[in-house]
Copies of this chain bind each other. A is one copy, B any other.
Amino acid sequence: MLTVAELAAAATRLAGRVEHTPIVAVGSTGLLAKCENLQRSGSFKIRGATNAVLGLGPAAVVTASSGNHGLAVASAAREAGIPATVVMTTETEPFKRAAVEAAGARVVFTAPGSDVRNRTAAELAEAEGATLIPPYDHPLVMAGQGTIGLEIVAQVPDVATVVVPVGGGGLISGIASAVRAGEGAHIRVLGVEPAAGDDTVRSLRAGHRVHIEPPRTICDGAAVQSPGELTFPILAALVDEVIAVTDAEVIAAMRVLFAAGLVVEPTGALAVAGALALGLGAGTVCVLSGRNVSPEAFAGYIGTP
């Protein structure tokens, strides 16, 4: 479990280094959005990455990522003046690959799948004596993402439900630890993952971590093969429910958010897609995880009837 002290230390490290993102109404749905799509580096990942880079000290860093975590580590490392290597699969969105390279990181490619990607990063860190910053399975990473939960309860004191996208589980385990601590024990925390990558739904049903084939979904940020070793027990203990939504529901949610003035990438619309599927409204905060999508892809999602 993450402690209040770990979350508070993360909040202190991140103060002034990441955006305190706004809460915005999602049109007339009654839903509120926590806008990590307006975060530095384009996603919430900069929180965990910065907390880990600063917390682990001044060594070269290596990470594995579908894109946003790699971009965040590259950005955080550049801020700290240390070299970064990002391991991505050959299926990584070219748009995200270009952003990681533009942020000054070395990029190493592997075959598709989060398993081989994570293993390659671990081996590379070992071989080069660099510090491994996992995309979710690390207390400093989870605590960094958890600062979003601290902000939500401060910004929306009467929040009843928080809805969070689920990939490896770093975001939701951090947020659940933050919002359900102390006075927030009654707040519901719900997770949403893509139907084609429902490893967490299956794992919760099975009572242990289930492993699936590399998922095929437009939600690249949530296309992992199993929940994390550290994140899963926290998620299982603190999250009320995890549901899965289709890519079509995700696109519909991207259009609702567009009409509300917000650009999100597919993974960033998961929480709103889930909240709409569950019929949620007032009292609900949906976490928009990121905005990193190419203009051409975004135009295709929203511009076709």
Contact = CB atoms under 8 A, between A and B. Distances in A.
Contact of A295 (B22, B295, B302): B302
Contact of A299 (B259, B262, B299): B299
Contact of A261 (B25, B35, B295, B303): B35
A189 interface: no
Contacts of A291: 259-261
A72 to B, nearest CB: 15
Interface string A28-53: 00000001011010100000000000
Contacts of A37: 261
Given A261-B262, A262-B263, A263-B263, A38 B24 contact: yes
B258 A298 contact: yes
A157 interface: no
A47 to B, nearest CB: 16
Contact of A303 (B22, B264, B299): B299
Interface residues of A, number: 27
Q: Which of A25, A258, A303 has the most CB of B within 10 A?
A: A303
Interface string A289-305: 00100011011101111
A240 interface: no
A304 to B, nearest CB: 8
A19 interface: yes
Interface in A246-305: 255, 258-264, 291, 295-296, 298-300, 302-305
Given A260-B291, A300-B303, 13 more contacts: A22-B24, A24-B38, A25-B38, A25-B40, A38-B260, A258-B295, A263-B263, A295-B303, A296-B305, A298-B303, A299-B303, A299-B304, A303-B303
